[in-house]
Chain A
Amino acid sequence: MHTNSLYQEVILDHNRKPRNYGKLDHASHHATGHNPLCGDRLDITLQLEDDQINNIAFQGESCAICKASASMMTAAVKGKSRENAEILIHEFRELATGKLDTNQPHHLGRLTVFSGIRDLPTRVKCAILPWHTLHAALNSLDGASTEADDSAPTIPNHS
């Protein structure tokens, strides 16, 4: 693939001006995601009321792919029910690992801009980390790690 098709303007824009960036003071759910491959960390805080995500924010140090994925994810799930958010999480994981048939109906919308990531196995984790972390937060798990992910190929942490 051509990498430029991954670093598209929409991704670069979300990297430059991330949406929902920060930390919610009165979060009902939170989790920290960690990618030991690069040391990137991501904190997600959200307010869940009647099983609906009323507000969500993220912050952390990460690469452009991870930050744009987190930014677009928060925009996509805000206002959605927990159930619908979990559907998006599932579909995004399938997309990033090349298992989603984008010709079939799905709910990802502009998030399909990340479809090219499937050709870069070392970067799949960067895109998926925010979604793992959201899943952990929604399920009141403390955190998520890309290394606990069995849907992406494992890239050992080596020099």
Chain B
Amino acid sequence: MTPVNASLKSDVSSSPDWEKIRADFPILQLNIGGKPLAYLDNAASSQMPQQVIDRLVRYQTTQHANINRAVHYLSEVATLEYHNARCKLQQFINAREDREVIFTSGTTDSINLVMHGYGRKFIKAGDEIILTTLEHHSNIVPWQMLANEKGATIRVVPINDKGEVEIDEYEKLFNERTKFVGLIHVSNALGTINPIKGMIDFAHRHGVPVLIDGAQAAPHITIDVQALDCDFYVFSAHKLCGPTGVGILYGKAALLEAMQPFKGGGDMITSVTFEKTIYNTIPHKFEAGTPPIAAAIGFGAAVEYLTAIGIEQIAAYELGLLEYATACLNDIPGVRIIGTAAEKTAVISFAIDGIHPHDIGTILNQDGIAVRTGHHCAQPVMQRFNVPATSRASFAFYNKKTEVDALVAGIKTVQKIFL
């Protein structure tokens, strides 16, 4: 097996060669309308390095077959490589056992799995589910569906003007009816890093399980599910330089075993008759049908790539970009940064006086700058700050300061056009 390495191995004594790492990403060489691409939409989806692309090609050209079925060579290789990918994810989040890692189609699928598998079995009428104002729609809507079905209630933790969760208010929401907590680790709209360790501990003191939506955290923060002691942790591959269509649900083994299956089908059974089906053990109980085998193997290669650079190194570099970009944007009259939490990942949501985000996005695109404009699937956050939408620049370790400079110049162009 050829290991997938980043261009430079992590070395605590020296900083990685970020220019060389950037060169791993072929898409970043693109010109958009004659201008070099400045890809600042990483919170929506990150780009893929050649090492991961190569891994997908190698799987597809020399290793592909269906898994867990036939006895022929390719099926055995594919089964082994799929299992290896699970083990890489287990290591990446420091799960106790590989069977605690379920492959899903992504963060949304993972949350829906927990809603159906845990929520529909254990949440009853009158129970309360705590969520924060910062949640992405994917960690709101499934719980609303459950609450409507069961007669349960959603309780919402407010945020302050900086976009930080109000911990006092969070703690006040707990009572004997509280049965579940869903927390976003890092806000996709604002970049706020929530103090989840203390929030998990507080919930556990009340005997309440906690699901962490780590979609925006996993690319930027070292995840240790044992140290966090979270009950569920979910994220997608495509925000970590991996393919779309795959993600994971981490769950504590005892909880996963107690849950009911979400989807029925092949692979998730031990035996089937028309009278009775005996379900397979975890993780297979939750992986009905042929999984996204290639994508899962690419996911494994992606976390290997990131680990080789070092998540701590990535976080430190991105913090430098965040501080530089924050200072630059604060210097532009008429530009307001929304979300100024003390602890943030490299995400900057901003508004420009009198100019709609969609106009900003279209004009920035003319200069090859890709930002996200809209409500970021977090309408409660937008309502909290009384804006219909924002523009959002979100950075990855392959971005550079000259791209921040391009963004600043682009914003000035926007202001000039609308003068």
Contact = CB atoms under 8 A, between A and B. Distances in A.
Interface string B384-419: 000011000000000000000000000000000110
Given A3-B366, A7-B417, A39-B389, A63 B377 contact: no
Contacts of A126: 358
A120 B373 CA distance: 14
A39 B188 CA distance: 18
B181 interface: no
Contacts of A12: 417-418
Contacts of A64: 355-356, 359, 418
B382 A63 contact: no
B261 interface: no
Interface in B131-163: 136-137
Contacts of B362: 3, 6, 65, 120, 123
B382 A158 contact: no
Interface in A17-62: 37-40, 61-62
A103 interface: no
A38 B373 contact: yes
A15 B373 CA distance: 19
Given A38-B357, A64-B418, A159-B378, A4 B388 contact: no
B356 A63 contact: yes
A103 B2 CA distance: 60
A7 B363 contact: yes
Contact of A40 (B33, B376, B388): B388
Contacts of A38: 356-358, 373-375, 388-389
B365 interface: yes
Given A12-B417, A61-B388, A159 B358 contact: no
Nearest to A16: B418
A12 B136 CA distance: 34
B394 to A, nearest CB: 11
A39 B390 CA distance: 11
A2 interface: yes
Interface string B359-373: 100110110000011
A159 B376 contact: yes
B388 A159 contact: no
A42 to B, nearest CB: 12
A15 B363 CA distance: 16
Interface in B305-336: none
A4 B418 CA distance: 11
Contacts of A65: 358-359, 362
B104 interface: no
Contacts of B379: 39
Interface in A105-143: 120, 122-123, 126
Nearest to A2: B366
B44 interface: yes
B375 A123 contact: no
A157 to B, nearest CB: 8
B32 to A, nearest CB: 12
B388 A39 contact: yes
A12 B379 CA distance: 28
A122 B371 CA distance: 14
Given A3-B363, A7-B363, A39-B388, A159 B417 contact: no
Nearest to B189: A159
Contacts of A7: 359, 363, 417
Contacts of B136: 159
A25 B257 CA distance: 63
A62 B388 CA distance: 9
Contacts of A40: 356, 388
A61 to B, nearest CB: 6
Nearest to B375: A39
A78 B378 CA distance: 39
B217 to A, nearest CB: 15
A149 B358 CA distance: 19
B377 A158 contact: yes
Nearest to B367: A3
B363 A159 contact: no
Contacts of B33: 2
Given A3-B362, A7-B417, A63-B358, 14 more contacts: A3-B365, A7-B363, A12-B418, A38-B356, A39-B388, A63-B356, A63-B359, A64-B418, A65-B359, A65-B362, A123-B358, A159-B44, A159-B377, A159-B378
Interface of A: 2-4, 6-7, 12, 15, 37-40, 61-65, 120, 122-123, 126, 157-159
30 contacts: A3-B362, A3-B365, A3-B366, A6-B362, A12-B418, A38-B356, A38-B357, A38-B374, A38-B375, A39-B375, A39-B379, A39-B388, A39-B389, A40-B356, A40-B388, A61-B388, A63-B356, A63-B357, A63-B358, A65-B358, A65-B359, A65-B362, A123-B362, A126-B358, A157-B377, A159-B43, A159-B136, A159-B137, A159-B188, A159-B377
